[in-house]
Amino acid sequence: MIQRIQSLYLSLTILLSLLFLKGSFLKFINKSGTGYFMNFTGTWQDTATVNPELLWKQVPVSAAIVLIIILAAIALVTFRNRKLQMRITLALIISSIILIGLICYYGVTLMSRYGANVEWGFRMFIPLLILILGTLAFKGIKKDENLVRSYDRLR
């Protein structure tokens, strides 16, 4: 049901999560000019050759992103059962908090191991936007549930 605002929030969450899958979301550069970047599959080092070198894989980050997409899609289609939709959206919020924590952990590890500094970009704020949209969707679902309960009390 797209006329509910939380459906729009959940749709934007799905779109931002899909955008997060494409390309690198964190870029680093150290004092010697070596570039590092993090994407969906892992942490990479830019080399002088055509192909970058994989430093380590980040399976938990990949799993969290895919879980966020799945939870947002399920929450979007369960609009008839608001209590279940609230639980799924709460799991979405918790998953996005875990994603932010994992990205911070891997980023700090890369910065300390290679002496690199962060290059700021739009994609690094996508997990925060996902968290905000999930919270707004939860509040909208809760508001609808409270409205239905108040109408039930009047009957």
pLDDT per position as a tens digit, 120-133: 888 889 999 999 99
Percent of the chain scored above 90 by pLDDT? Answer: 46
For position 110, what pLDDT does the model report? 87
For position 1, what pLDDT does the model report? 47
The arithmetic mean of pLDDT across residues 138-145, rounded, is 91
Q: What distance in Å separates the CA atoms of residue 137 and residue 52, rounded to the nearest whole number? A: 39
Please name each of the domains of the chain with its CATH number.
5-154 (1.20.140.150)
pTM greater than the 0.85 cutoff: yes
Residue 124: CB atoms within 10 Å: 18
Structure tokens at 21: 């899958």
pLDDT digits (tens, 9 = 90+) for 67-99: 999 999 999 999 888 899 999 999 999 999 999
- Please report how many Cα atoms fall inside a 13 Å half-sphere around the Cα of residue 7, on the Cβ side: 11
pLDDT digits (tens, 9 = 90+) for 50-73: 778 888 888 999 999 999 999 999
Q: What distance in Å separates the CA atoms of residue 34 and residue 31, rounded to the nearest whole number? A: 7
Phi, psi of 81 (to 5 degrees): -115, 90
Please give the full DSSP string across 116-147, using - where no structure is assigned. EEEEP-GGGGHHHHHHHHHHHHHHHHHHHHHH
Residues in the chain: 155
More confident residue, 135 or 50: 135
Q: What distance in Å separates the CA atoms of residue 3 and residue 142, rounded to the nearest whole number? A: 16
